[in-house]
Amino acid sequence: MYDRSASLLQTVGTQLLMPSIVCSAFCLELYFKALIVIEKGGVAPRGHDLQFLFSCVSKTNQMKIRAFFNQRTRVNAARIAQFAAAEKAAGIASKPWTFDNVLAASKRAFEKLRYAYQKDLQSGEGWMANDIKDGTRAIILALHPDWA
């Protein structure tokens, strides 16, 4: 539902970009929590920290999510290079586009961006984890194709 909402909001234009990002960040949080419950049963961990939630996912599925991200990174290498060049031109220090750096930068995106008007974002924070979100969704749907 949040994934679909994010996609629909993106079609409207830039005025709804922030709500789209918030929906995507919350979607990844829910995907991680769903995967944890699928794997371990019980109740999902509380909180919004995507790094912590990812650490609760089984090592096997962590590797699958990383592999999905790395494949997308190879496919989108030109776009990622343009993004890095634009940051450099703007004087923004950026880290290499790796899974760990993207997850770290996005780890609190839901908390930080849902109240974007408070301007609480620090340098290096934001939302860059769409490929992680898509990879996690793919794993969940492979386990439960009837949920598609």
CA distance 56 to 58: 6
Residue 127 has pLDDT above 90, yes or no: no
CB 38 within 8 A of CB 144: yes
Domains of the chain: which residue ranges?
A: 2-147
Residue 90 half-sphere exposure toward CB, CA atoms < 13 A: 10
pTM equals 0.84
pLDDT interval class at 43 (50, 70, 90)? very high
* 23 vs 40: which has the higher pLDDT: 40
CA distance 60 to 97: 22
Task: Name 17's Cβ contacts closer than 8 Å, sequence gap at least 6.
Answer: 9, 10
- For range 14-27, the mean pLDDT: 81
- For range 13-40, the mean pLDDT: 87
Residue 104 has pLDDT above 90, yes or no: yes
Share of the chain above pLDDT 70, in %: 83
Residue 143 has pLDDT above 70, yes or no: yes
- For range 63-79, the mean pLDDT: 91
